[in-house]
Amino acid sequence: MLDMFSLEGKLAIVTGSARGIGQSYAVGLAKAGATLVLVDILEDNLKETAQLIKDETGRDSKTYGIDVTDSAKINSMVKEIIAEYHKIDILVNNAGINAPKPFLEVTEDDWKKIVGVNLNSQFLMSHAVAKEMVKHNYGKIINMASVGGFMALSDTAPYNASKGGVLQLTKTMAADLSQYKLNINAICPGFIDTGLLKPSKSRDQRLQKVMDNTPLNRLGNPNDLVGACIFLASDASSYMTGTQIIVDGGMSAVAM
Ligand code: NAP
């Protein structure tokens, strides 16, 4: 790997890394040289990711089974990580959920849950981790947004609103934290074939419509996003902050 993309000696946290995109990010960052802290709501499911990393790189990973909306758990986790590794170089705020429903069927609980996991958790994790990063004048925070953060996908009001919030959080953190030389950027995927798409997989017609409107004419897979993540986590992107990389097969570039 070119030196500018190397993550040798870096400590990276990836939330939602038990499966899907987060698992691919964690393995990709490890292959680029980073030591990984894996976070997901179910610790047992993280063992698979830790094993994949061990098989690929020979390195051990630390795992935390916590809910990333729980600020007390986040703060004690960050304290433990600092006690063991003394710094955090990279944070990937990837954990996220969706529950597609027509707007009039969305309940207050749906709204609170989706915005809580997708947006509030990114604030809580970033707040706890950035406090440590500023001590070293170094840090890369990568927030998972979505094309839904800047264009309307039907039946997903809380999801789209939360991802729009993620994009604004990303820009504002970039403005506030640039004095400490932190880089804060987002990734906006289109439709990626993971568990998150399950509720809409039964809606074959809808997915077919998406693919018909995607110039590259297929769903993405988690590995399609790994290059963008390594780029934003590495010094290759040191003059980028407060912006986003769109990885959507061209979907958001074209009209119907
Ligand atoms: P996924 O396969 O469902 O994986 C998400 C992971 O996050 C799961 O392991 C899940 O744990 C974990 N998680 C959920 N709530 C959590 C919480 N409160 N605390 C800790 N971990 C939690 O989804 P994905 O498709 O990889 O999505 C990853 C990110 O990409 C999300 O932010 C999503 O919004 C974004 N994204 C995805 C797509 C897409 O088409 N797939 C498109 C645009 C953006 P459990 O397995 O235990 O539930």
| Structure confidence by residue, pLDDT tens digits, 209-236 | 889 999 999 999 999 999 999 999 999 9
Calculate mean pLDDT across residues 135-161: 97
| Percent of residues, the chain, with pLDDT higher than 90 | 90
Please determine, for residue 130, whether its predicted confidence score (pLDDT) is greater than 90. yes
Ligand 1, from 64, 68, 97, 113: best to mutate by most atoms within 8 Å of Cβ? 97
Give me ligand 1 centre to Cα 194, in Å: 9
Domains of the chain, by residue range, sit at 2-247
Chain centroid offset of residue 174 CA: 16
In 3D space, the residue among 201, 88, 100, 243 whose CA is nearest the CA of residue 158 turns out to be 100
Structure tokens at 144: 């998972």
Q: What is the DSSP letter of 220?
A: B
Amino acid at 30: A
Q: What is the mean pLDDT of the chain?
A: 96
**What mean pLDDT is predicted for residues 15-25?**
98
Q: 2-247 — its CATH code?
A: 3.40.50.720
CA-to-CA distance for 17 and 44, rounded, in angstroms? 12
Mean pLDDT of 51-77: 98
Please give all residues whose beta carbon lies within 6 A of any atom in ligand 1, as ranges. Answer: 15-16, 18-22, 40-42, 45, 67-69, 94-97, 117, 144, 146, 189, 191-192, 194-197
Ligand 1: centre distance to CA 123 (Å): 16
Query: DSSP letters of 227-248?
Result: HHHHHHHSGGGTT--S-EEEES
Sign of CA dihedral 55, 60, 63, 68: negative
Give the pLDDT of residue 210: 87
* Cα separations in angstroms, 50 against 46, 61, 69: 6, 6, 23
Quick one: tokens of 151? 């264009």
Phi, then psi, of 4 in degrees rounded to 5: -70, -15
**What is the rounded average pLDDT of the residues 143-172?**
97
For residue range 72-82, list pLDDT tens digits in order.
Answer: 999 999 999 99
Instruction: Give the pLDDT score at 166.
Output: 99
- For range 124-141, the mean pLDDT: 98
Distances (CA, A) of 116 to 11, 50, 98, 113, 129: 26, 26, 11, 5, 18
Q: What is the pLDDT of residue 207?
A: 84
Distance 179 CA to ligand 1 centre (A): 31
Residue 102: which pLDDT band, with cuts at 50, 70 and 90?
very high
Nearest CA to ligand 1 atom 17: 67
How big is the CA angle at 40 (ends 37 and 43), to the nearest 5 degrees?
90
- For residues 232 and 206, the model is more confident at 232
Beta strands in the chain (DSSP E): 11-15, 35-40, 62-65, 90-93, 139-144, 182-189, 244-247
What is the structure's pLDDT at 105? Answer: 98
Q: Which two tokens stand for residue 247?
A: 């990885």
The closest-lying atom of ligand 1 relative to the alpha carbon of residue 67 is 19
Q: Per-residue pLDDT tens for 178-197?
A: 999 999 999 999 999 999 98
Provide the pLDDT for residue 200.
60
**Residue in this structure with the two tokens 């400590």, named with its chain if needed:** 11
239 is known as an active-site residue: no
Q: What is the pLDDT of residue 209?
A: 86
Residue 252 has what pLDDT?
96
Query: Does 153 have pLDDT greater than 90?
Result: no
59 CB burial (10 A radius; 0-12, 13-18, 19+)? middle
Mean pLDDT of 137-161: 97
Q: Which of 138, 159, 180, 239 is catalytic?
A: 159
Q: Residue 1 — very low, low, confident or very high, per pLDDT cuts 50/70/90? A: low
Q: Distance, CA 96 to ligand 1 centroid (Å)?
A: 4
